Amino acid sequence: MAAVSRIGSILVANRGEIARRVFRTCRDLGIATVAVFSDADADAPFAHEADGAVRLPGSAPADTYLRGDLILAAAARTGADAIHPGYGFLSEDASFARAVIAAGLTWIGPPPEAVEAMGSKLAAKELMAAAGVPVLAGGEVDPMTALSVAERIGYPVLVKASYGGGGRGMRIVRTEAELVEAVHGARREAEAAFGNGTVFLERYLDQPKHIEVQVFADDHDNVVALFERDCSLQRRHQKVIEEAPSPVVDAALRQRLCEASVAAARAVSYRGAGTVEFVVSADGEPAFLEMNTRLQVEHPVTEFITGLDLVALQIAVAQGDPLPAAALEPSMTGHAIEARLYAEDVPAGYLPATGTLARFDVPDGVRVDSAVETGSVIGTHYDAMLAKVIVHADTRAAASARLAEVLQRSRIHGVTTNRDLLVRVLRSPEWLAGEVDTGYLDRVDPAEIGAPLLADQRMHAIAAALAGAAARRAAASTQPGLPSGWRSVPSALQRTSYGELEVGYAFRRTGLVVQVGGEPVDVRLWSVTADRVDLEVDGVRRQVDVHQVGDTAYVDSPLGSSVLVETPRFPEPGTGAAAGSLAAPMPGTVVRVTAEVGAAVQAGDVLVVLEAMKMEHPVRAAVDGTVTEVRIESGSQVEAGAVLVVVA
């Protein structure tokens, strides 16, 4: 391949944390940076941090980050000479890669042919099998051939549509007796859903591990495997916690996986960073799943254990440089774990969350690859991942403990996240034993694993109430120096209610008097300001941070974090929604409206379907009645709590 000139300026055709991640290495290497940003991302940190940024009008991915033509125009306008696609969006779009190269720019990614080769599931599998990479046994079947194929690969088997996805037409078959009917059913469903009834059988693994190998190849015939990552902690194929090395991969298996992955990369004449994904059965047998022809979200754990900068390697390889010695002979040190912070309400069933991050503050000393910062607005347009927190320690146990601690001590205010789930998992016996598989999160109750770490919020409620009082006294311009809540004739306590938690307090001559829910609490107040309370409860003194945003108090202490919403003292006039109003359970896009004004409906009828986070959520009539109002239409973007339909 012809020598490529040195890269002087990189446009990142992506957003969020990965854009910032690439910029960081660019700055290390003295390369200028260019961002592209949609309207929804106009105030996002990555758009501000680049040396130059170009607007992509609109917010939907199809109008912005998926518009290769606009991105190439942005590169031309800014003089960028290379494009880094990040992950997602256009990163695995071979035609975009071709267009970049045709425009005379450097494509920081694999050859388009390799992208294409890995793009088709079945074809990739066949290619890998031919290259000697273990694959899950299986093959295309019809009701006539199914039994013999199933016998060859062994039960249980998975019946899958060849040209489809999303679980449609998919069936798990555990015995011969169920098979023929399942194939018939799957064909019918696939035909209906995708217009093609072709199905195939595949060996089905119960409770598998998800193991992947980072590979790197250059133009000088070097292909290396940078060891494995274990991404078994997932929810519905969305990775949540990743680590390297895997607790279930021994040296022999590692060698097998690495060799298979290098073979896979060679089979498609790979160049750059790629990931070969495997499932590993409970008995330790790996099988090829797919190859991702891009940099992965979870690449930092590999960086930690190898000491390499994968983005720097991508840039070097894209320039035609050979991989450095450190990459060609990689070594592994310690254990790294990455946790993904998602904006989601886990106990409510992993509903996506939105809002303004009133504070985003992760303790120092760990790596944070973050899309956001304090003040960022989290909307519904893109992926709900706020940040990745990555730690590196000598052992897996140490890394787990450290990451849990750091997450627990993080101040994340204004947007609900899966932080408590992450901490719980990292401290769970299953995780610590290295036993979680890809189905783990689907088996545990979200209400339990995502519940606040601090069950008893009374101490936090007291602290929040006292901090609120301190804030009001500090802000008082009339009689500012007088003691808080002073009474010449004391009677009732001052009251602050957070839903069910009613805190009563009074600063009496004998000391602070506190009640929660009418019950006296033994407290001593060492000091208080609007944002910090030094409070002793039942003889234990603790420092509690309180961050008040509007009527919400975000309370953090060594015991955990609480979000306490203060109940207004007076009912605000005119805020009551009409009876029978159906509100959006979460922010999202209206995909279907079945309600019509005047139509009679029964309780349970689906009136509106919302889509959020790639899932459809039906909104049902709560009572029998007549639709009196429809406030939205198909395509409307709605906030959580917005009234959609009124039934009277």
Partner 1 sequence: MPVLADRLDRRDPAYDANREAMLSLLADLETHLDAARGGGGPKYVERHRGRGKLLPRERIELLIDRDSAFLELSPLAAYGSSFPVGASTVTGIGVIEGVECMLIANDPTVRGGATNPMTAKKTGRAMEIARENRLPLVTLVESGGADLPTQAEIFIPGGGMFRNLTQFSAARIPTIALVFGNSTAGGAYVPGMCDHVVMVKERAKVFLGGPPLVKMATGEDSDDESLGGAEMHARTSGLADHLAEDELDAIRIGRSIVARLNWRKAGPGPSQPDDPPLHDEDELLAIASADLRVPFDPRDVLARVVDGSRFDEFKPLYGTSLVTGWASIHGYPVGILANARGVLFSEESEKAAQFIQLANSADTPLVFLQNTTGYMVGKEYEQNGIIKDGAKMINAVSNSTVPHLTLILGASYGAGHYGMCGRAYGPRFLFSWPNAKSAVMGPAQLAGVLSIVSRQSAEARGLPYDEEKDAQMRELVEAQIESESLALANSGRVYDDGIIDPRDTRTVLGLALSVVHTTEVRGARGFGVFRM
Chain residues binding partner 1 by CB under 8 A are 469, 472-473, 476-479, 481-489, 491-492, 494, 509, 569-571, 573
Q: Considering beta carbons, is residue 443 or 509 the nearer one to partner 1?
A: 509
The CA distances from residue 286 to 56, 263, 331, in Å, are 43, 15, 23
Q: How far apart are CA 614 and CA 441, in angstroms?
A: 18
- Asked if residues 410 and 361 have their Cβ atoms less than 8 Å apart, the reply is yes
Q: Considering beta carbons, is residue 284 or 483 the nearer one to partner 1?
A: 483
Cβ 471 to partner 1 shortest distance, Å? 9
Cβ 504 to partner 1 shortest distance, Å? 11
Q: Considering beta carbons, is residue 175 or 479 the nearer one to partner 1?
A: 479
Cβ 482 to partner 1 shortest distance, Å? 4
Cβ 476 to partner 1 shortest distance, Å? 7
DSSP β-bridge partners for residue 563: 554
Classify residue 391 by burial, with Cβ atoms within 10 Å: 0-12, 13-18, 19+: buried
Classify residue 320 by burial, with Cβ atoms within 10 Å: 0-12, 13-18, 19+: middle
Q: Which residues contact 315 (CB under 8 A, 6 or more apart)?
A: 7, 10, 25, 26, 29, 31, 82, 84, 108
Cβ 562 to partner 1 shortest distance, Å? 21
- Asked if residues 90 and 67 have their Cβ atoms less than 8 Å apart, the reply is no
Q: Considering beta carbons, is residue 482 or 606 the nearer one to partner 1?
A: 482
Cβ 478 to partner 1 shortest distance, Å? 5
Q: Considering beta carbons, is residue 148 or 488 the nearer one to partner 1?
A: 488
Q: Considering beta carbons, is residue 579 or 597 the nearer one to partner 1?
A: 579
The CA distances from residue 299 to 324, 426, 471, in Å, are 18, 19, 44
Cβ 468 to partner 1 shortest distance, Å? 8
- Asked if residues 302 and 229 have their Cβ atoms less than 8 Å apart, the reply is yes
**Which residue, among 311, 382, 371, has the nearest Cα to 341 in the 3D structure?**
371
Q: How far apart are CA 371 and CA 375, in angstroms?
A: 12
Q: Considering beta carbons, is residue 12 or 516 the nearer one to partner 1?
A: 516
Structural tokens at position 229: 């990552």
Q: Considering beta carbons, is residue 177 or 475 the nearer one to partner 1?
A: 475
Q: Considering beta carbons, is residue 27 or 487 the nearer one to partner 1?
A: 487
Cα 403 to the chain's mean position, in Å? 16
Q: How far apart are CA 144 and CA 288, in angstroms?
A: 27
Cβ 567 to partner 1 shortest distance, Å? 12
Q: Considering beta carbons, is residue 482 or 579 the nearer one to partner 1?
A: 482
The three-state secondary structure class of 400 is helix
Q: Considering beta carbons, is residue 471 or 549 the nearer one to partner 1?
A: 471
Residue whose structure tokens are 């758009």: 47
Peptide bond into 156 cis (omega under 30): yes
Q: How far apart are CA 330 and CA 304, in angstroms?
A: 12
Cβ 458 to partner 1 shortest distance, Å? 20
Q: How far apart are CA 470 and CA 533, in angstroms?
A: 10
Cβ 212 to partner 1 shortest distance, Å? 56
Cβ 575 to partner 1 shortest distance, Å? 13
